[in-house]
Amino acid sequence: MFKQKHYLALGAVTLVTVLLLSLPSRAVSHLKLGIGGLFLPLFGAVNAARQLPERAADAVLPRGELLKEIENLRRENQEFKVRRQQTDAIARENDQLRALVGWQRQQPWKLKLASVVLRDPANWWRTVQIDLGKRDGVTTNLPVLTADGLVGRVSSVGYTRSQVVLIEDPACRVSARVLNPANDLGVISPGGPMENSLVNLSYLFGNANLKPGQQVVTSGEGGIFPAGIPIGLIADSRQAEFGLNTEARVKLSANLGALDQVWVLFP
Amino acid sequence: MNVFNTILILAAAFLAVFAEAAFQLPRHLFGAQVDLLPALMICAALNTNVVTVSLLAVSGGLWFDSLSANSLGVSILPLFAVGFPICLRRDLILRELPFAQLVLGAAASAAVPALCVLLLLSGGQAPLLGWGSLWQWLVMIAGGAAATPVIFVLFDRCQHALGYQPQTETSFRPDREIRRGKK
């Protein structure tokens, strides 16, 4: 039944697997991004194909409608400028107060827009890849968010693209704070394989007074995520570990199932 | 069997991995992404040789793991573990029958993710598992089973359209030629 060719094939495949699995993590990360780079031309082609209908729709859009849209955007832009002035004034006041108390001055967020180019093909991980890499200054553990809320953090970086581990993945734990009178602290952990927009908030005090609809934001502890990034809203809560602590389910603000563009937050 | 079949299988694996990462329709509809590599492995094991099976296991596994958060190389052994025994025993399998292809596709689609997860767990990693994973597993089995006969049909058509066909032997034999007339 076994010929020499079969023995050789079996030996070669086993050897390759053992070698790959025993490589150091840094080499594996580089190798992964290198092999994944083979798919870049295909992703470029797919992105171009996706943009074709949009461009075609843009071409046939009436001029009057475009002018109306520009007018709306101008108005919105002016409103944002006014609001920014107010925010700047508040930030200056905040800096002065922090200086008086002796706290470290808060740095304004620096954001870079990235497109999501692919999702993890395995069902047991929740990661995406974005089109920013080392050449754009991306490093590991940078927070990634959308306008709605936190998405995850950068887990590995290649030259032109990076892998982002989503907040639903077991490898992404976030220290979170509930915006209630007690400012309860907990840790965000994944909900389940089929729960796309729900995550667990665990390790809360047993007497935590949680109500559905209360907002959950990053606490700033842990050193990766700055404080105040919205995560979601409390959906429900229950006592765990015989009442020693409370667990809650949080409905995520960002729609992780339909990520198209995300912001990478630079320090 | 020629190199063309190997190239065809590897190209199909490359496109399959890309499609799994780029297109999310099964995930939106059924909550799970369908893996086409086990179905391709069945096709390779029944139609090609052990070298192609090994190449598909190594390259398909590497491509899959490179786009995933899996440890690099963790998908190679499960794919090979499915393809190798079938390749050895393919003379005993009614590979022309779509039902046999469907059953083999379902079995391979069940075995590959299960072995992958087992390897990940034994390597100390903690993939996202729960009761919902059973549903995802069923979707993967059903998707892989449905895809296997389709892949066989596509593979046959590609072979006929692009590959070299073996030349049929003529019944003419010079040593059996009847010579007529006087010598």
Supply the ipTM of this predicted assembly. 0.83
Q: What is the mean pLDDT of residues A160-178?
A: 91
Q: Are residues A136 and A255 in the same domain?
A: yes
**Contacting residues of A for B32, CB less than 8 Å apart:** 123
Residue B46 lies in a domain: yes
| pLDDT over 80 (residue B64) | yes
**Contacting residues of B for A171, CB less than 8 Å apart:** 69, 126
Q: Are residues A185 and A229 in the same domain?
A: yes
Closest to A177 in 3D by CA, of A169, A185, A189:
A185
Q: Tell me the nearest-neighbour CA distance from B16 into chain A, angstroms.
A: 10
Provide the domain count of chain B. 1
Side chain identity at B24, as an amino acid letter? Q
**Contacting residues of A for B128, CB less than 8 Å apart:** 124-126, 168-170, 190, 192-193
CA separation for the pair B152, B131 (Å, rounded): 33
Residue A249 forms contact with B (CB below 8 Å): no
Q: Are residues A42 and A73 in the same domain?
A: no
Q: Are residues A241 and A133 in the same domain?
A: yes
Q: What is the mean pLDDT of residues A3-32?
A: 88
Residue B54 lies in a domain: yes
Task: Catalogue the E-assigned strands of A132-229.
Answer: 143-145, 150-157, 162-166, 174-178, 185-190, 198-205, 215-218
CA separation for the pair B123, A82 (Å, rounded): 55
Q: Are residues A196 and A220 in the same domain?
A: yes
Q: Are residues A204 and A231 in the same domain?
A: yes
The answer to whether A247 and A255 have CB atoms below 8 angstroms apart is: no
Q: What is the mean pLDDT of residues A177-190?
A: 90
Q: Are residues A207 and A244 in the same domain?
A: yes
Provide the domain count of chain A. 3
Compare CB distances from A35 to B33, B63, B117 and report the shortest one's residue.
B63
Q: Tell me the nearest-neighbour CA distance from A257 into chain B, angstroms.
A: 8
Are B76 and A16 a contacting pair at CB < 8 A? yes
Q: Are residues A51 and A82 in the same domain?
A: no
Q: Are residues A19 and A71 in the same domain?
A: no
Q: Which domain holds residue B126?
A: 31-164
Residue A101 forms contact with B (CB below 8 Å): no
| pLDDT over 80 (residue A70) | yes
Compare CB distances from A125 to B20, B22, B127 and report the shortest one's residue.
B127
Residue B60 lies in a domain: yes
Q: Are residues A182 and A257 in the same domain?
A: yes
Residue B21 lies in a domain: no
We report the CATH number of the domain holding residue A125 as 2.40.10.350
pLDDT band at A44 (very low <50, low <70, confident <90, very high): confident
Tell the burial category of B1 from Cβ atoms under 10 Å away from its Cβ (0-12, 13-18, 19+): exposed
| pLDDT over 60 (residue B1) | no
Contacts of B61 (CB under 8 A, 6+ apart): B37, B73, B74, B75, B76, B77, B78, B79
Query: Given this model, what pLDDT does residue A55 score?
Result: 83
Are A170 and B128 a contacting pair at CB < 8 A? yes
**Contacting residues of B for A122, CB less than 8 Å apart:** 33, 64, 68-70, 116, 127
Residue B43 lies in a domain: yes
Q: Which domain holds residue A13?
A: 4-59
Give me Rg for the CA atoms of chain A.
23
**Contacting residues of A for B130, CB less than 8 Å apart:** 192-194
Q: What is the pLDDT of residues B101-117, one digit of tens each?
A: 999 999 999 999 999 99
Q: Are residues A14 and A142 in the same domain?
A: no
- Final residue of a structural domain among A101, A119, A152: A101
| pLDDT over 80 (residue A1) | no
Residue B67 lies in a domain: yes
Name residues 184-243 of chain A within 8 A of B (Cβ).
190, 192-196
**Contacting residues of A for B127, CB less than 8 Å apart:** 122, 124-125, 170
Residue B38 lies in a domain: yes
Q: Tell me the nearest-neighbour CA distance from A204 into chain B, angstroms.
A: 22
